[in-house]
């Protein structure tokens, strides 16, 4: 910015394993959302490389990036990002429209996804007719409908009360485990972080420490 050089991420090096749950944990401005955006191909790094299954994401053009996101990625956002004019079922089918899945198949799949997130009775409701927790369930169904290999959850419970927060985290982690998907959660909340197998602490654009939670599961279940 002008003369000032801002380093959002500095010397980050990490390998994500298939089927594991990771949390990028840090305060606002730490660089965690920037890191998520880079891995998801939404932003390009000025240096370094991001490799997914042997392919260099940082070298992809816009069409290749769109194909990468469409084929491999699902998103759950803090603000749900639902289209207000569409019903729950229509919102959920959107990723399949881009994949050119026939309408009958799209609707069948969306119905089964809404059932999986406990919203079978709400498929014709628009976002304004749903609670925050229900809107997030619709957003989760949309993220999972195209069976992505990686699910990104950016502050997925930031707008929810405590009870709904834990319901949503149980739902997201259960679905990724069942489907052997990689889940990358971005949060500043340590309670959310403990849903991950690995917590990556990010501070001032660097990895401060990496912590495995796999031995802690029994403690957390009490």
Summarize pLDDT for 204-214 with one digit per residue, the tens: 999 999 999 87
How far are the Cα atoms of 34, 59, 98, 186 from residue 154, in angstroms, in the given order? 11, 24, 22, 5
Confidence band of 216 (pLDDT split at 50, 70, 90): low
User: In this predicted model, what pLDDT tens digit does every residue of 16-52 receive, in sequence order?
Assistant: 999 999 999 999 889 998 999 999 999 999 999 999 9
What mean pLDDT value characterizes the chain? 91
pLDDT at 219: 44
User: In this predicted model, what pLDDT tens digit does every residue of 43-66 receive, in sequence order?
Assistant: 999 999 999 999 999 999 999 999
User: In this predicted model, what pLDDT tens digit does every residue of 64-96 receive, in sequence order?
Assistant: 999 999 999 999 988 899 999 999 999 999 999
Q: Which residue has the higher pLDDT, 11 or 172?
A: 172
pLDDT at 220: 44
Q: Determine contact, residues 215/37, Cβ cutoff 8 Å.
A: no
- Output the pTM of the full model: 0.89
Cα dihedral: 107, 168, 181, 34 (round 10): 110
132-144 vs 162-178: helix crossing angle, rounded to 10: 10
The mean per-residue pLDDT over the stretch 124-151 comes to 95
pLDDT at 4: 81
pLDDT at 222: 35
Name the strand (E) or helix (H) holding 153.
Answer: strand 150-154
Q: What is the DSSP letter of 106?
A: H
Q: How many CB atoms lie within 10 A of CB 209?
A: 10
CA atoms within 13 A on the CB side of 184: 23
pLDDT of 218 > 60? The answer is: no
pLDDT at 3: 83
Q: Determine contact, residues 75/40, Cβ cutoff 8 Å.
A: yes
Q: Which residue has the higher pLDDT, 219 or 130?
A: 130
């Amino acid at each position: 910015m002008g003369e000032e050089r801002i380093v959002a991420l500095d010397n980050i090096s990490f390998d994500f394993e298939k089927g594991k749950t990771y949390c990028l944990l840090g305060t606002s401005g730490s660089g965690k959302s920037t890191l998520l955006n880079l891995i998801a191909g939404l932003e390009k790094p000025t240096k370094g490389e991001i490799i997914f299954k042997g392919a260099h994401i940082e070298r992809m053009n816009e069409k290749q990036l769109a194909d990468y996101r469409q084929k491999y990625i699902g998103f759950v956002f803090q603000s749900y990002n639902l289209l207000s004019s569409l019903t729950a079922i229509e919102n959920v089918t959107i990723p399949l429209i881009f994949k050119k899945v026939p309408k009958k198949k799209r609707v069948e799949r969306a119905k089964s996804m809404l059932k999986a997130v406990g919203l079978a009775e709400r498929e014709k409701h628009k976002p304004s007719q749903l609670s925050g927790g229900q809107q997030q369930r619709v957003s989760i169904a949309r993220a999972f409908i195209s069976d992505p290999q990686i699910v990104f959850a950016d502050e997925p419970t930031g707008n929810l009360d405590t009870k709904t927060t834990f319901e949503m985290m149980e739902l997201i982690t259960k679905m990724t485990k069942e489907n052997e998907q990689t889940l990358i959660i971005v949060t500043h909340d340590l309670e959310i972080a403990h849903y991950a197998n690995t917590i990556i602490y990010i501070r001032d654009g660097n990895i401060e420490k990496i912590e495995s939670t796999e031995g802690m599961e029994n403690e957390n279940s009490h």
